[in-house]
Structures are given as C-alpha cells and as structure tokens.
Amino acid sequence: MSRIGKQPVAIPSGVTADITDGTLTVKGPKGTLTMGLSELVSVALEEGQISVKPANDGKDARGQWGMQRTLVSNLIEGVTEGFSKVLEITGVGYRAQSQGKVLKLQLGFSHDVDYKIPEGIEVKTPDNTTVEIFGIDKQMVGQVAAEIRRWRKPEPYKGKGIKYRGEYVFRKEGKKK
C-alpha cells in the first residue's frame, strides 16, 4: 500500500481545481497548470481536497498511485508558492549575467554561452556567481537548472564549475611528486 497515495491533497483557498476528460487543471494566484491523468488511477474532487486511488488491484496501478498523488501535490504547490533552484558558479573568471530572456555565462570557453530562458521561467542573478531560477512548474525549473549546470559541471580537483546550492562536490587529491 502506498503511504503517500493514501493522503488526500488539500486545496488551499484561492486555488481552484477541475477534472475534465482525464486532465487536471489547477488555477491559483501564480498561474495555471494542467496535467494528464493516468488511466491506472482514479482522481476525485471532494470538498476542498483531491483524493487519488488506484483504479484496480494491479501492480502497475499501485505503482502509479503515489506518483500521481505527488504530481497533483506539486501542481497545487506550484500555483500557490512556486519552485526555485539556486546555482553557484565557482572558478576564476566564471560569471553569469541575466539580460532579459537571455542568461549570459562566461565559463572559460573562448566564447560566451547564451542560454535562452524558456517561457514561464524567471532567472535572477543577484551577483556574478549566483543564478536563481523560479517558476511554477517543478519539472521545468529542474530541467532549466540541469541544462545550465551541464555547460560546466563541478570538477573534483579544484571544484570549479556550476553546482546546486548545498551540493557536495567530492574533492580528490592532486598528483604527488
């Protein structure tokens, strides 16, 4: 039995949810999100909360149960509070600058890297070595952070590169004489 799936998702005030044709639409103060629902689970709106139950006793249905409940919870959290990721840039001469819908990165290449920020995502650079990514879609915020990080992953010898805030980079010892 799914311990996560058993818990209903509370709908806070100011948020409306609607289920039509296998699609869940959630509207809140930060925006609107939609999600296609799996046929293996049944989703019901009940007085201020959304409950998710498996459609049958099959292994696949029970496997989707907790995942679908978590995705519904992420929709509610996204339209009320939103999600954010913070990237830290380490290295001599490495820096970032947000210019409208383009993030300019100087990462030791012979050219600057221009990353076009997708629609629905907001990127701020409070200083040269910090990139803050905001959005209402958790998957998209994580995807943008991963794409930016992919340009220069942190290396284990000096720790240079782009890392998530709070990420531990395993450091190695260099060559010995």
| pLDDT at residue 71 in the model | 94
Tokens 């007085």 belong to 47
Q: Is residue 14 part of a domain?
A: yes
What are the DSSP calls for 5-41, one per residue? HHSPEE--TT-EEEEETTEEEEEETTEEEEEEPPTTE
The torsion angles phi and psi of 141, rounded to 5 degrees, stand at -60, -45
Which structural domain, as residue segments, surrounds residue 30? 3-80
List pLDDT tens digits, range 121-155.
999 999 999 999 999 999 999 999 999 999 999 99
Judge if 159 and 89 occupy the same domain: yes
Task: Specify the length of the chain in residues.
Answer: 177
Task: Among 29, 50, 80, give the residue marking a domain's end.
Answer: 80
Q: Is residue 147 part of a domain?
A: yes
Q: Is residue 30 part of a domain?
A: yes
Helices marked H in the chain — which ranges? 3-6, 59-80, 138-150
Judge if 93 and 75 occupy the same domain: no
Judge if 60 and 11 occupy the same domain: yes
For the chain, the domain total comes to 2
Q: Is residue 172 part of a domain?
A: no
**DSSP three-state, residue 167:** coil
| pLDDT at residue 1 in the model | 59
- Which CATH number goes with the domain that contains 60? 3.90.930.12
Q: Is residue 43 part of a domain?
A: yes
Q: Is residue 8 part of a domain?
A: yes
Task: Among 45, 63, 80, give the residue marking a domain's end.
Answer: 80
| pLDDT at residue 94 in the model | 95
| pLDDT at residue 69 in the model | 92
Pairing between β-strand 83-90 and β-strand 161-164 as defined by DSSP bridges: antiparallel
Judge if 27 and 55 occupy the same domain: yes
Residue ranges of the chain with per-residue pLDDT less than 50: none
Task: Among 61, 80, 99, give the residue marking a domain's end.
Answer: 80
Does this model's pTM top 0.85? My answer is: yes
